[in-house]
Amino acid sequence: MRQKVKLKTLMLGAACLLYLSSCSGNSAATESLAAASKSVSSGVSSETNGLWTNLTWENNGDKMGDNDGPAYVVYSKEGYNKASQVIKVSRMKVNLVRKSDGKSLNGYAFLGMDVYNGKENQWVNCIDAGLGFIGSTCKCHACVNRYSVSPDEDQWWESSVELDMTHDYKLVLDASQKDEQVTLTIFDVTEKNRQVDSKTFTLYYAKKDGGNLAVYQDYAMDFPEDVRLDTKKVPSTDWEQITLYNTDEDLYMKNIVGSDLCLYNDSGSRPWTADRTADRYMWPDKTSCISYVTTTVTQIKKDSETKIDLNMNR
């Protein structure tokens, strides 16, 4: 599984704290997962509406988002049972290998769904599903992580199908066909939307009408366990110190363009416009000790087309 830690902290309502596992090469180790509360308003930035960075962006309330490597996350309002987007992989510039020792990070661009119970509106489950750039080769595969699974299932799945990084891909995450079921499908946009990968999963408590679902889009770099050190090279769980330890190691995911984002429910599809967004979060934000620009977000069409640059070099 990914080594991602996505942390949503206490505000209003309920939501999720995701710990995704460490992944380096073919190895995977599942970490503990927990739940916290959902926030319902967006962070703020002192910059223009079209350009945000971690030096001026402040997450609303307590920190929420990806408390691991640099990341940007957008959450929809509830009521959607399907989402799609195009990731322009061909335009990305990626290096996830540390120059000093050859150890590697992982990168992700994906869609996800949070599941709530209808009565109390408390978060109960979630799924991350999309593209992973894994290990020292940075090869691109479809990957999925779920919070709640049956004892005979793995939380983490990674496809054996290697995707061509000179192509662009459409991701479709669809929970509309059956209660407690979701399908990730990958289409090769460069090859006229040819389907190149697909897999169906159980998503406990999800309703096919989307009434208890919210969608998110996430772009992130993650730290495997072997690079989770502080600036004194001591093993650490302090994500700010880990970020500083991995700074100036020529690590980056630049020009990540997520476009054509659409949300669906039983009444049809619609572009993911700002009025359909519940929250946006960035890691780090300006309250952290990270004093250089690691995360830059350029809103091309707010929430429906965005360019993200993750750069861990001063």
Quick one: pLDDT at residue 17?
A: 34
Q: What DSSP element (H or E) covers 196?
A: strand 194-202
Q: Compute the average pLDDT of residues 95-108.
A: 96
Q: What is the mean pLDDT of the chain?
A: 86
Domains of the chain: 40-311 (2.60.120)
Cite the beta strand spans of 135-168 per DSSP E.
Answer: 139-146, 156-158
Length of the chain: 314
pTM for the model stands at 0.86
User: What's the pLDDT band for 67 if we cut at 50, 70, 90?
Assistant: low
How many angstroms separate the Cα of 107 from the Cα of each of 71, 77, 110? Answer: 10, 26, 10
Quick one: pLDDT at residue 260?
A: 98
Q: Compute the average pLDDT of residues 62-90.
A: 88
Q: By percentage, how much of the chain surpasses pLDDT 70?
A: 82
Pick left, alpha or beta for residue 180 (phi over 0 → left; psi -120 to 50 → alpha; otherwise beta).
Answer: left
Rounded to 10 degrees, what is the CA torsion of 195, 196, 200, 206?
Answer: -60
How many angstroms separate the Cα of 13 from the Cα of each of 233, 244, 297? Answer: 39, 33, 27
Whether residue 126 contacts residue 115, with contact meaning beta carbons closer than 8 Å, is answered with yes
Residue 68 has pLDDT above 70, yes or no: yes
Residue 225 pairs in a beta bridge with: none
Own/partner pairs, 143-149, CB within 8 angstroms, 24+ separation: 143/2, 143/108, 143/110, 144/184, 144/199, 144/201, 145/1, 145/2, 145/4, 145/18, 145/20, 145/21, 146/201, 146/202, 146/203, 147/16, 147/18, 147/33, 148/124, 148/204, 148/205, 149/202, 149/204
Token pair 């990626």: residue: 94
Classify the C-alpha dihedral 283-292-132-50 as positive or negative: positive
Separation of alpha carbons 4 and 254, rounded Å: 19
Quick one: pLDDT at residue 48?
A: 55
Residue 119 has pLDDT above 60, yes or no: yes
Whether residue 111 contacts residue 98, with contact meaning beta carbons closer than 8 Å, is answered with no
Q: In 3-state terms, what secondary structure has residue 276?
A: helix
Residue-wise pLDDT for 32-53, tens only, equals 233 333 333 456 665 556 899 9
Quick one: pLDDT at residue 109?
A: 98
